[in-house]
Chain A
Amino acid sequence: DTAVSQTPKYLVTQMGNDKSIKCEQNLGHDTMYWYKQDSKKFLKIMFSYNNKELIINETVPNRFSPKSPDKAHLNLHINSLELGDSAVYFCASSQDGEGSPLHFGNGTRLTVT
C-alpha cells in the first residue's frame, strides 16, 4: 500500500550510460516532483509535473528529462551520466490547490562510477 514508490532503490552504473528511475503514486495527486539530495544532504527540487505539464524546471542539465505517461507516474531519465550525478533522488507528489503536503518516496541512491 505504498503511496509513492520508486524503483530501483539502488542504481550503480558507469559514466556515459543512460538510466531511468521510475516513480508511481497511488494517492490520486495532481502534481509530482523530483528532488535531488546530494552528499551534503541538501534537498533540491528538480522538476514538478502537473497534469502532464512541466511547470517547474530548476535549471537542471538537459541530460535530465522527466517523462509522465499518466497522472500517476513521473519517471526520470538521465542521459550520459556523470560522476556528479551521484546522489539520492526522491520522487514526491501532492494535491495542489488544497495545500496538501508532499508525500515522498524512499529514494533511489544513484552511484556513478
Chain B
Amino acid sequence: DAKTTQPPSMDCAEGRAANLPCNHSTISGNEYVYWYRQIHSQGPQYIIHGLKNNETNEMASLIITEDRKSSTLILPHATLRDTAVYYCIVRLYSSASKIIFGSGTRLSIRP
C-alpha cells in the first residue's frame, strides 16, 4: 500500500499558484519525498524530490514540514498544460526498493 495520502482532486485558476498537499505521517528518517505527475495517458514524469529541506527546480517547489509528516508541491504559475494527476511518493534514496504509487491528486487548471 502507498504510504501517502492525497486529496483526490483539486482545481486552480490559470496563472495562480497550485498547492498540492500530501500526508506521509509514517515516513521514516531515511525516506525521501518524491513527486511525479501523469498527463493524460503519458508515462509519469518526475517533478522534484526532497528529504527535509525545501527544494526548488524549474518545474516546482517542494515544502516539507519540520516533522516531515506532510509536504506541499507548489506550481508557482499554473498553466493549462499542468492539468494532470500528481503523485506523492516516499521511498528510500539508495535502494532499488518498491516505488508504490497511490491514487494521486487530479489537478484541473481552469482558464
Which A residues are within 8 Å of any B CB, using their own CB?
Answer: 4, 30-31, 33, 35, 41-45, 48, 50, 55-56, 58, 88, 90, 92, 94, 96-99, 101-107, 109
Contact = CB atoms under 8 A, between A and B. Distances in A.
19 contacts: A4-B43, A31-B96, A41-B85, A41-B103, A42-B103, A44-B101, A50-B96, A56-B98, A90-B43, A96-B94, A99-B32, A101-B46, A101-B49, A102-B44, A102-B99, A103-B46, A104-B44, A104-B45, A107-B41
Taking residues whose C-beta sits less than 8 angstroms from the other chain, chain B's interface range is 20 to 34
Interface of B: 32, 34, 36, 38, 41-46, 49, 85, 87, 93-96, 98-101, 103
Nearest to B45: A104
A58 B85 CA distance: 24
Given A50-B96, A102-B46, 14 more contacts: A31-B96, A45-B99, A56-B96, A90-B43, A96-B94, A96-B95, A99-B32, A99-B94, A101-B34, A101-B46, A101-B49, A102-B99, A104-B43, A107-B42
